Structure 1
Amino acid sequence: MVVRNEGVHMAGANTYGNRQDDAFELSGNDRQSPAGKQSGGEPPYPVPENEEQRIQALDTYHIMDTAEEKDFDELTQLASVICGTPIALVTFIDRDRQWMKSHHGTTLTQTPREYAFCTHAIADPANVMVVPDATLDMRFRSNPLVTGETNISFYAGVPLVNQDGFALGSLCVIDHVARDLHPQQVNALVTLARQVVDKLELRRKSERLEQVNIELASSLDALNTANLKLQEMDIRKDEFLGMVSHELKTPITSLKASLQLMEISSGQTNNELQPLLVRKSLRSTEKINELVDDLLTMHRFGEKQLRMGMSHFNIYRLLQDCASEKPAGKAITTRVEGEQDLSVFADEHRIEQVVSNLLGNAMKYANQSDEIVLTVKRSGTMIRVSVRDQGPGIPAEHIPYLFDRYWRADHMGSTYSGLGLGLYICSEIISRHNGRIGVESEAGQGAEFWFELPA
């Protein structure tokens, strides 16, 4: 670097001296502009041609307003000793201020940029800026840092130039008397400035490495979670295949037995057994059809092929239709209540599928319930539908899993079979309508399944 020693500009002021503030303040007659300050337009200090890029580069280091660090403090202390000055600073210049990362010999930490000597130093990043006597320099002699109690006389600053050529700030030394530096002192100051830049780069690399490590750890956690889910899905797949085989085999075996009995008794003239066998066969085929429908619906979810036929319809009337289709042999009463004129914009067939599933579950698993109540009402911007029974309720520890795929309510001691897809399908259908679904229940207090659709 070349030494500029012609009464050149200096920086780092405003904070120097024995003041105890954390920011520079002027008082009384010191509240005046330094020489060259304009009332408007261009700033009263030189601005680098690459100022915007320089500030963007400074931002990438995340150095401004950070805590003191021993590495930087040791360098300013060494600079003070080598140059024999009471003050040594590591400064960074942003758009409006000069901030000190390290401030040996003063407790001040920042100054307005218009009074900072270092802002002049960074305008010529290839050279060391030395001002032997600021009181004789026309650019600084009226600066309140020179004329005021801070009494700045001598300044020498080495621009802190990063690997991309941007001058981010300076390593500077300050004295209250006019003086100069020996060439060896200047060379040492330049070497220390390189050390500051090296530590700054190392700090940024360490910060980036830490961020990469955080991201890698997060990715590893996500990968481990995904791996556990895959293992769980693999286990569930095996269980599911066995479950499907069992669930399909049961109605098929029943259907086969009924057909065989019908064949045997087909020659009898007065056969009272045949109507019973026909009904049993029909129930078996309905069971098979339900299982296949659930499998196909789940497959369409996975392939994103489930299409919605959206239309406006009266949700109260749909609840009435579902409640009227009570299975034979059930003594449970179903009742519909709520606002009768509420309409929703949804796939009516799919919403009917959800209601029928929730109603069917209530009838299956709530054997102690005398009545099932279906309710519809407005809830803010949503339409809320609920199915409430008076059955045994659901243990709290099982509620989080109710809408999981393949999960079945075996904990209730029920003899009812199934693939564990019903509530999962309900959840997916409601989700595709931008709605919500949930359950409220306590053991022994019944259960209330509900879902909400946009009004």
Structure 2
Amino acid sequence: MSINAQHFDQLLEISRDLASTLDLEVLLRKILRVAENLSSAETAYVFLYDENKGGLVLQASTNSQHEHALQGQCLPATSVAGWVCVHRKPMIVVDVESDQRAIVKNDSLLNTATTSLIAVPLVAKDKIQGVLEVVNKKQDYFNEQDVDVLTVLAAQAAIAVENSRLYQQADLINELVHELRTPLASILTIAYLLKRSDLTNDQRQQFAESIAEEVTRLNDLASSYLEYSRLEAGRLTFSATAFDLRNLLTESCRTLRPKAEEAGISIQMFSADQPLFLTADENKIKQVVVNLLNNAIKYNQTGGRVLVNAWKNGDSVSFSIQDNGVGIPEADLPHVFEKFYRAHNIQEAYPGTGLGLSICNRIIEIHGGTITVQSQVNAGSTFTVELPVNVKK
């Protein structure tokens, strides 16, 4: 193995840095940046192995366009990265154009701009975590020294990725257990009170309704937790189709209008005169819209209003959902998209799982879009979503 003194010092420093990071997204960005620097590559990719899909899924790249286009798709075993994953051996393609190996010729991910590449496996404790791939050396072609350096980096990265994945699983389970304690404690208390012989029929009926509410809350929490964990693990399938955002918003407003009117809240929609077509997973985008509309109704009051707007801006389409309800305190705004987080002014008065906005945020991120919020206490909130018109999932 050939590693010069400069690379050795860099790898030593990197090992300490990676060991101090447990956030998977931050970790992968560090790995990509280091891989590019060490190999003088134009682009770097990290593919992680998804046990449910039985293959590699692009998790991050220094090429944002490729990341948005390929993220969530399962790589074929006939790709270079797929071969490396199966055989757990590095592969170097010095010159793509002259390389006669079938695995190189049949790799659909390689295009005319790809001249040279290296792919190395991420293996920790004899378990494949994924593949690190670098493409196109900025000067000349990749060589065996580049392979050696990236192999050492990959060994460090694989351990860090495994630790991060284990930490995330434990962290999410711990938070779920914490959230389960409140409704379970309520049910236990009510069950104890129901043993009393001096309760009236009205009291028993009230306790029964309280149990039903807490069970519903448990069910909602479990469903939200499962969906969030699947999103984080890349186990949800996204199906891209072309549709008019205006129609989706109109249909969602029509569905929730009876609920709003029952609460004394009006829903109004304004949008561009022309169709707002985009290519994305329509059901997932509708899930986001319905969640935001439900929140706008839930955290409002009698006589309140919900305004829905939609417009086109260059290569993106946007929509906003505005209410004049309770609003969100300024101190809570940076945290509203975090899992299990709930603003302090609604925790007791409004039941919820604290996962809805986290799920919305993740869905929009996977589509290459953004979701932002502006709010003021007792004045209401405005959630704005922007999506590229050509999301390919």
* TM-score, normalised with respect to structure 2: 0.49
Largest Rg, 1 or 2: 1
